Structures are given as C-alpha cells and as structure tokens.
Amino acid sequence: MTALELRVFPTVDETMRACAEAIAAAVRTAEEPQVVLAGGQTPRGVYALLAASGEADALPWHAAEFWFGDERCVGPEHPKSNFRLAQQTLLGPLGVAAGRVHRMLGELGAEEGARRYRDRIAERLGADPPFTIALAGMGPEGHTLSLFPESPGLAASDLAVAAYVPTPPRERISLTPAALRHTERIFFLVTGEAKRDALRAALRAQAPDPAVPTSFLRGRLETVVFCDQGAAPEDAAEVSP
C-alpha cells in the first residue's frame, strides 16, 4: 500500500488538467485498462478533458472497461445519475461500446443494485478485481464513494454495498475498500475551500480510521490527491502543473 501524495495546483482548471493527464498516462500503459469512475459534479471537467484529448493522444479507450465507484438509486436518465454524467461527458464522446460500460442499476434499489454489481464484478474480474485506476472524490464531511464517516461499508467484505447516506438522494450503491484493495492507482479529486478540513484529516490519518473514509483507500502503485489551492490545508506545498 502506498502513502497518500498531495499535489496542489493554483486553480481548479489546472487541477483538472493534471488529474486528466495522470489518468491518460495510466490508460496508455495498460493492456486492458479497468477504470473506476467517480460520481458527483466535481469530475465533469476531468471527463471533458479526457474526451477532448482521447483521439489526439491515441489512447486505447477501445480496450478499456469502465466501472462506477457509486451511484444514486435513480434511473440512468435522471439528472442525479452518475452514469448519465459520465455518459454525456466522457463515454459517449469517446464512443465507448456499451458492453464495456458497467453501470450500477440504481433503479433497482440499493440492496438489489449492490447485489447485481457484486455479481457483475466477480463474473468479469473475479473476487479481487485488478482495477487499473479508481477516481474518487471527497465530500466536505469526508465521505468518499458513497461511504460517509462511520459507514459500515468501510469494513465490509462485499465488493459493493447498499449505502444510506445523510444527503439526498439518500439511497445509494457503493463500492467498498475491499473492492479497491488491488487497484493500481487511486486518484482523489478535491476542489474548493469547503473540503479543506476533510482533506486535512485525510492527510493526517496514519491508518484506516472510520471517521476518515478516505484513509481506507490506497493504491498498490500510487495514491494521489489532486487539489486546488482553495482546498489545500494552509501548510500544503504547491506543486507546479
């Protein structure tokens, strides 16, 4: 397991670009990239950059498969759907074949949707999925994926669980740290002053701590936080883009 590395950039745009470039570099060197996408609105800029540069950089997107770190229990066309955002900004523009996109079936409800996703991962990748990259976010209260502080899913052995969270939509499906324990690279994307305290706690955590969900996620090769100056704790060093 790797240590948490912090990379700070002056602006949100530069943060997005650096994260997109790191994802592209990892995809470029993988024979069959297995990519876990983040939810929420924060990664929109990263997805747009990857979609815009995909053809020019000759990235092997045709060989990649895409998974989701979490999903709200809504249909795939719902404005809150993580799949919908990824489809509109990344997967559709890249022309990714439908069979290479493994969405969480949020419309089935959290319990059934999680069961179906566990089965799909195990069928395709086995009990210890070798994901190439997982992109994850961090909420102001410290949540990542759909695992909030003290969530029972943090210690679950299942690959995906039903999650019931404090903010709407409250019923969700989430991967677990167990699902990501063999992931090569885990990238956290964190922007905005509202997330500064959560990032400070993540940087201080020396071991998995249920109060700090991000402390449970570490990549085999690297674990990197890409953040803008607004989200960075006061004593964080700035990294040039």
Q: Which residue has the tokens 């745009």?
A: 13
Show the domain range for 10: 4-192+205-228
Residue 111 lies in a domain: yes
Distance CA 190, CA 224 (A): 11
Position 238 scores a pLDDT of: 46
According to the model, what pLDDT value does residue 53 have? 80
Is 38 domain-assigned? yes
Low-confidence ranges of the chain (pLDDT < 50): 238-241
Helices 44-53, 12-28: axis angle to 10 degrees equals 50
pLDDT at 55 (0 to 100):
57
* Torsion of Cα atoms, 95 then 160 then 204 then 235, to 10°: 20
3-state secondary structure 18-51: HHHHHHHHHHHCCCCCEEEECCCCCCHHHHHHHH
Model pLDDT, residue 11: 97
Which element (helix H / strand E) includes 107?
Answer: none
N-terminal to C-terminal alpha carbon distance within the chain: 26
Predicted local distance difference test score (pLDDT) of residue 57: 61
Task: Write down the pLDDT at residue 59.
Answer: 81
CATH of the domain at 164: 3.40.50.1360
The answer to whether residue 172 sits within a structural domain is yes
Number of domains in the chain: 1
Place of tokens 């990501």: 180
d(CA 11, CA 8): 9
